[in-house]
Structure formats: C-alpha cells, structure tokens
Amino acid sequence: MLHLTEADCSATEDEVLRAMFAARKDVFVDLLGWDVPVLADRFEVDQFDDEHAIYLVVTDPAGRHLASARLLPTTRPHILADLYAPLCDGEVPRGPRIYEVTRFCLDRHIRAKKRRFARDRLVMALAAFALAEGIERYTGVAETGWLEQILAFGWRARPLGPARMVRGRKLGALTIEIDDDTPRLLAEAGIGVRPAQIREPQHAL
C-alpha cells in the first residue's frame, strides 16, 4: 500500500485500509448501486482484494479517506480479463509491466475543491508509482462519462474498443501508456496545477 498524506498522519495502515473499503462501499454501492460484495454491511471488498492487490490511498492528516485506487497485476486474474474481455477489440493486454487500475474512488462527502485536489494527487501518484516500479501501461474499465475524463487527463491514453452496454451500464476499456513524459503531460493538462498556474498552450493543432 502507498499512503499519501499532506502531513504526518497517526493512522495505522489497517485504519487507512478500513476507511478506503468503507468509502468504496459508500460510493460504489450506496451511491452508484453496483451489485458487488459488501462485508459486515460496511466495506466493499471483492475477490480481487487479495495479497496481490496494491492500494494507493490519499488521506487528510487525520487519516480520513479522500481518494484511492487499486492496482492489479495483469499476469493474474483481474477485472478486464475475467469480467469484461469483450470490451477489447483484440486480446486483453497482459504482462509483467502492465497493471490494471480499478476502484478509483473519490470520497463523496468532500467539497469540490478538495475533491479536485485528491483526484489530481491520486492521478499523479499513479504515474509516479508506475515510473518507480517499471510499469509501462495501465488498463482499466469505466463507465463512459468517467472514461472520457480519464482520456482527457493529458497522458497517452486510448480506448481498447468501442463502449458497449453491459447489464444496463455503458462501459469502455482503455489503456494508458506511462513513460518519463507522463508527469509533464499531466501538468500541461492542468492535473495537479492550481488554476492560476495553468497557462494556455503556445500552439494549436
């Protein structure tokens, strides 16, 4: 687990993970109505939450959950390959340097400004973690509204096939290439940059 906070945090790893699973239940089950497992009526935990899962969690200094994501190795069972492979026009991307991003969760009880901060911090952490660990690509599955936002973050991302209706939800699969240019591309798109710092590009295509 990689835990990101703006100051020293006294929360233990177990407390941070419990807060993350509770936030996932609050967003994916209570808000979005997903039909996914719930543990003790408090925590959203599924079959992919095992010893191979990696968690990136953004908290405030008190350890309260702000944002989180789960990374799954594509050399093992994961959501795209096991549940949504038909979303890909070709074979599902797999390999030791390809990880799947799942359960990208923004706390629903924080205000828009803090939500934007938490989202950007998490996106930048995904890029930094990939560069540090030799991950070259991420894959993922998302509903089309969120998918369009991910594609617009500035990094090199593209759909793996057309979006399709799956059990009442329009879903698409995507891949994101990560390289040394990615942090710059994210910054140029405004990720992690306060509005006053954003500059218009000097050229247009």
Residue 110 lies in a domain: yes
Residue 45 lies in a domain: yes
Q: By residue range, what is the domain housing residue 12?
A: 2-193
Instruction: Answer left, alpha or beta for residue 95, where phi above 0 means left and psi between -120 and 50 means alpha.
Output: left
Q: What's the number of domains the chain is made of?
A: 1
Residue 203 lies in a domain: no
Residue 201 lies in a domain: no
Higher pLDDT, 164 or 12: 164
Res 128: pLDDT? 95
Please name which of 29, 16, 30, 33 lies closest in space to residue 67, comparing C-alpha atoms. 16
Considering the chain, what percentage of its residues have pLDDT values greater than 70? Answer: 91
Distance CA 161, CA 86 (A): 9
Residue 195: pLDDT band (50, 70, 90) is: very low
Domain CATH code at residue 93: 3.40.630.30
Residue 114 lies in a domain: yes
Q: Taking residues 37-65, report their average pLDDT.
A: 93
Residue 185 lies in a domain: yes
- Torsion angle in degrees (nearest 10) through CA of 109, 187, 173, 97: -110
Res 192: pLDDT? 76
Q: Taking residues 136-160, report their average pLDDT.
A: 95
- Strand 169-177 to 156-159 pairing: antiparallel
Residue range 158-185, pLDDT digits in tens: 999 999 999 888 999 999 999 999 999 9
Distance CA 104, CA 20 (A): 11
Distance CA 99, CA 41 (A): 29
Q: Taking residues 74-80, report their average pLDDT.
A: 97
Residue 124 lies in a domain: yes
- Strand 98-106 to 137-143 pairing: parallel
Residue 16 lies in a domain: yes
